[in-house]
Amino acid sequence: MAASSANENSDKPRRTVTSFRNFVSQNHDSQFPAESGRYHLCLAVLKLKGLDKAITFTSVQPLWRKTKENDEHMGWVFPDSDKEVPGAERDHINGAKSVRGLYDIASLNYTGKCTVPVLWDKKLNTIVNNESSEILRMFSTEFNHFAEIPCLDLYPPNLRSLINETNEWVHHGINNGVYKCGFATTQTAYDEAVKQLFDALDKCEEILEKQRFLCGNTLTEPDIRLFVTLIRFDEVAYTVIFKCSKRLIREYSNLFNYTKDIYQIPGLSSTVKMDHVKQNYYGSFPSINPLGIVAHGPNIDYSLSHDRHRFS
């Protein structure tokens, strides 16, 4: 689920491992204790848990730009004003021009990829974590005393073994699988990646025939991780640019209704900026789409009725 850059130096690309892996804890003696107003996110659980009053949020521009005037590095940048790019905001915390600028503040010697999301500590002025799966876990387990919806537990103790197992195959087969397809440099690598991706999607379809969510009839972490790929699949670049066109998600009855079900959870739809997603995927991968032309359609309405209430 993390927006880490794909490593293109192999016919089987691997996504770059994220580097800041600190954990916010309820323990007040922790280096990063859970505190209201302390952390800033430069994402869906924030809205699901009702944490957007305790943790602030900034959205970057959808298109990669040069992150510094004097070199060719391209990456995530902030607009100069909140009105420059609809849906994106300037960095009100540090005044950084780019996400790279935040990494420079956090570590003078940092040489890795400057990925998003970033969980920023406004008190220590540093990056706490840039691995989306771990940020998701923190928001679900460590900030309940600040959450407006504390009863939502995406990592309940009785399901943790199943959640961990499901997270693994969803990540490798689907979240990472679409990138393996898109950045494969040989036919053999692409064929293998497509098979793994659609085997995993078929597995999801079979599970969702019997229950509302991946780990039962309760929303948990793997559902959020799967949703962020499904919502992009037909509408944006996975089907077209990443060549994941064997089957559309809307051709899977259970997966398509499941995607609509999660999209309609209060607060979640506001985190899906489809125009930003399209601009980013079509415009930021010149090796795949050199002209940066953004395709029209299909403009799927995920607010339409679904059939998942049959499991209620």
Q: Is 312 annotated as a binding residue?
A: no
Beta pairing partners, 74: 66
Beta pairing partners, 15: 6
Q: Is 76 annotated as a binding residue?
A: yes
Distance between CA atoms of 248 and 236, rounded to whole angstroms? 11
Distance between CA atoms of 211 and 247, rounded to whole angstroms? 22
Q: Is 148 annotated as a binding residue?
A: no
Distance between CA atoms of 59 and 76, rounded to whole angstroms? 10
Q: Is 114 annotated as a binding residue?
A: yes
Distance between CA atoms of 156 and 163, rounded to whole angstroms? 9
Beta strand 39-41 with 56-57: parallel, antiparallel or unpaired?
Answer: parallel
Q: Report CA dihedral (276, 279, 281, 283) to the nearest 10 degrees.
A: -150
Tokens of 271: 């985190």
- Can 179 be counted among the known catalytic residues? yes
Q: Is 49 annotated as a binding residue?
A: no
Instruction: State residue 121 phi and psi, 5-degree precision.
Output: -95, 110
DSSP letters, 30-84, are SSSB--TTTEEE---HHHHTT-TTTSEE----SS-EESSTTS--EE-B--SSTTT
Question: Which residue type occupies 162?
Answer: L
Q: Is 116 annotated as a binding residue?
A: yes
Distance between CA atoms of 283 and 250, rounded to whole angstroms? 25
Q: Is 113 annotated as a binding residue?
A: yes
Catalytic residue among 39, 179, 281, 282: 179
CB-CB neighbours of 116 under 10 Å? 18
In the annotated binding site, the residues are 76, 113-116, 131-132
**Binding-site positions for glutathione:** 76, 113-116, 131-132
Residues recognised as catalytic: 179
